[in-house]
A and B are shown apart, each in its own frame.
Chain A
Amino acid sequence: MNEAPIIQLQDVVKSFGTQRILDRVSLDIYPGRTTVIAGGSGQGKSVTLKLILGLIKPDSGAILVHGRDITTMNRKELNEVRSNFGVLFQGAALLDSLSVFDNIALPLRERTELGREEIRQKVMATLIQLGLIGHEEKFPAQLSGGMKKRVGLARALQLQPDIMLFDEPTTGLDPEKTMEIYRLFHETQEKFAYTAIIVSHDIPKVFNLADQIVVLNHGKLVTFDNPEDIQLSSIPEIQAFVKTTMGHLYLSRELE
């Protein structure tokens, strides 16, 4: 790989109390590629995302974004780095007290010098693109799960981030809505050419999107270049994970 990684985790250790969640984890994420982080519950997938975002600090190790270590940054420097990120949270994390329009407009109002009319035009364009037109006056409590995710995605894309992080983007959605989210993912990644990091349980569907798959297992991280490599893994825990999460695929291959 000739390109420099856009994000690097170097020997990252993170514990909560006596429980070590990440144990000297290292990972390189390259620009424009899609990395899927998989693993069982409580294995530290969301913790990894929060570490990359600088929401929590590691006990030791370094996290480099564009070559700069975010673990030693002050709040102002961290905010500059965060301007490169867009995040779609598991529950979308829309501000309850703001309408759909205001939620999407929030980063533009707070982080840019754009005028009211420019903001309105940009938000309306996003609403059209993501099929949210007609819902702009609604509040998050009036939206379905799928619609909340779309609004969350719209908000995350407003500042045209280099890096998009998706925390369980399809959890709690029916198959139709899940496919819709993946379609939007394809469309927006094509348009904005962002680097994507997806934490997901939705395996094997999400593997089709991945250029790189990492599986967290008892604090360690195992990297694979494609889903087939995971199935061939000799690590017993990874085999068990594959059997549980990729059951249909696994069984059909065994029958063949």
Chain B
Amino acid sequence: MLLQRIENIGESAIYHLHDLGRMGLFLLRTLLGGVKKPFRFTTMVRQIQEIGANSFGVIFFTAAFTGMVLGLQGYYTLRKFGSEGMLGSAVALSLLREMGPVLTALMVTGRAGSAMCAEVGIMRNSEQIDALECMAIDPLGYLVMPKVLATVISLPLLTMIFNVVGIFGGYLAGVKMLGVNPGAYFTGMELSVVNKDITMGLIKSVVFGLLIVWICTGRGYFVHQIRGAGYGAEAVSRVTTQAVVIASISILLWDYILTAILL
């Protein structure tokens, strides 16, 4: 009984170590393949549209309501200390440093990351990836690298859009609905926000972009090798869910690590 448990733990540890190694090599091969010709510019632009432009709606609404909630919560908290004038700076710093990059990354994971994982998983199951290999076309260079570039380019841009829309959401709730002085809202922001806050958010969004595309395409690519995933459409469905969960947790984990390093 005890030996069986130890054996199971050992087996599980070996599997996860193997999986991590496989995913690490996948990332390395993708990035190394990216510097080789041909550079697939048109495919990358199409991916920017899919991952970036098509995520605009969801980012806009998430940012608007997040900003409005921050405006409301911030106002009632700051009022206790008679500091309603600091609302603009509170909203902006929260968004630029943390909520902008994190929520944008989580939304893109749910919208585009899941689609990437399912697409690559279906291609694996229907032998499309095997077909590419048989034609001596590197599937990582052909399929994954344009998605890596598109996500790493799109996510910082979406994060900036999120920040701007969120700040105006806070303005709407704090200034228009609760009567905070508009001058104080923007002046407080101007005085407290420094370049480092913006840079921190952008660095985070680049790292999160890489995490999303690595985890989501990687899980799809190895759909046939993931323990307990099953076969066919069921495997793609399970692995897609798994990819979204792992990517979301990784974003939150790396947010902490990056904050600790960059602050």
A220 at interface by CB-CB < 8 Å: no
Q: With a CB–CB cut-off of 8 A, which chain B residues contact A96?
A: 122-123, 126, 128
Contact A110 B135 (CB under 8 A): yes
Q: With a CB–CB cut-off of 8 A, which chain A residues contact B127?
A: 89-91, 93
Select the residue from A82, A93, A106 with max chain B CB neighbours within 10 A.
A93
Number of interface residues of A (CB under 8 A): 22
- CB B132 to nearest CB in A, in angstroms, measures 8
Q: With a CB–CB cut-off of 8 A, which chain B residues contact A94?
A: 128, 131
A101 at interface by CB-CB < 8 Å: no
Select the residue from B127, B136, B142 with max chain A CB neighbours within 10 A.
B136
- CB B221 to nearest CB in A, in angstroms, measures 14
B17 at interface by CB-CB < 8 Å: no
Contact A95 B136 (CB under 8 A): no
A213-253 contacts to B, CB under 8 A, are none
Q: With a CB–CB cut-off of 8 A, which chain B residues contact A95?
A: 123, 128, 131-132
Over the window 126-161 of chain B, the binary record of Cβ atoms lying under 8 Å from chain A Cβ atoms (1 yes, 0 no) is: 111011111111000010000000000000000000
> B136's closest neighbor in chain A, by CB?
A79
> B142's closest neighbor in chain A, by CB?
A110
A100-151 contacts to B, CB under 8 A, are 106-107, 110-111
Contact B126 A91 (CB under 8 A): yes
Task: Compute how far the CA of A50 lies from the CA of B131 in the bound complex, rounded to whole angstroms.
Answer: 11
Contact B136 A83 (CB under 8 A): yes
> A111's closest neighbor in chain B, by CB?
B136
Known: A90-B127, A93-B127. A111 touches B133 (CB 8 A): no
Q: With a CB–CB cut-off of 8 A, which chain A residues contact B128?
A: 93-96
- CB A221 to nearest CB in B, in angstroms, measures 23
> B46's closest neighbor in chain A, by CB?
A97
Contact A93 B137 (CB under 8 A): no
Q: With a CB–CB cut-off of 8 A, which chain A residues contact B132?
A: 95
Interface size class of B (residues with CB under 8 A): 10 to 19
Question: Which listed residue, B122, B130, B134, B137, touches A110 by the CB 8 Å rule?
Answer: B137
Main secondary structure of the interface of B (DSSP, over half): helix
- CB B33 to nearest CB in A, in angstroms, measures 10
Task: Compute how far the CA of A94 lies from the CA of B123 in the bound complex, rounded to whole angstroms.
Answer: 9
Known: A93-B126, A110-B142. A87 touches B136 (CB 8 A): no
Number of A-B contacts (CB under 8 A): 51
Q: With a CB–CB cut-off of 8 A, which chain A residues contact B137?
A: 106-107, 110-111
Select the residue from B126, B130, B131 with max chain A CB neighbours within 10 A.
B131
Known: A93-B126, A110-B142. A82 touches B133 (CB 8 A): yes
Task: Compute how far the CA of A85 lies from the CA of B133 in the bound complex, rounded to whole angstroms.
Answer: 11
- CB B46 to nearest CB in A, in angstroms, measures 9
Q: With a CB–CB cut-off of 8 A, which chain A residues contact B136?
A: 79-80, 82-83, 111
Contact A53 B134 (CB under 8 A): yes
Task: Compute how far the CA of A96 lies from the CA of B120 in the bound complex, rounded to whole angstroms.
Answer: 11
Contact B135 A93 (CB under 8 A): no
Contact A93 B133 (CB under 8 A): no
Contact B130 A93 (CB under 8 A): yes
A155-171 contacts to B, CB under 8 A, are 155, 159
A55 at interface by CB-CB < 8 Å: yes
Q: With a CB–CB cut-off of 8 A, which chain A residues contact B135?
A: 82, 106-107, 110-111, 155, 159
Task: Compute how far the CA of A85 lies from the CA of B127 in the bound complex, rounded to whole angstroms.
Answer: 16
> A76's closest neighbor in chain B, by CB?
B136
Known: A91-B126, A93-B126. A85 touches B131 (CB 8 A): no
Task: Compute how far the CA of A160 lies from the CA of B130 in the bound complex, rounded to whole angstroms.
Answer: 19
Over the window 102-137 of chain B, the binary record of Cβ atoms lying under 8 Å from chain A Cβ atoms (1 yes, 0 no) is: 000000000000000000001100111011111111
A-B pairs with lowest CB-CB distance, top 5: A93-B131, A79-B136, A93-B127, A82-B136, A87-B134
A residues touching B (Cβ–Cβ < 8 Å)?
50, 53, 55, 79-80, 82-83, 85, 87, 89-91, 93-96, 106-107, 110-111, 155, 159
**7 A-B interface contacts by CB (under 8 A):** A55-B133, A80-B136, A89-B130, A91-B127, A93-B126, A94-B131, A155-B135
Q: Told that A50-B130, A110-B38 touch, could you supply 16 new A-B pairs with CB distance under 8 A?
A: A79-B136, A80-B136, A87-B131, A87-B134, A89-B130, A89-B131, A93-B128, A93-B131, A94-B128, A94-B131, A95-B123, A95-B128, A106-B135, A107-B135, A110-B137, A110-B142
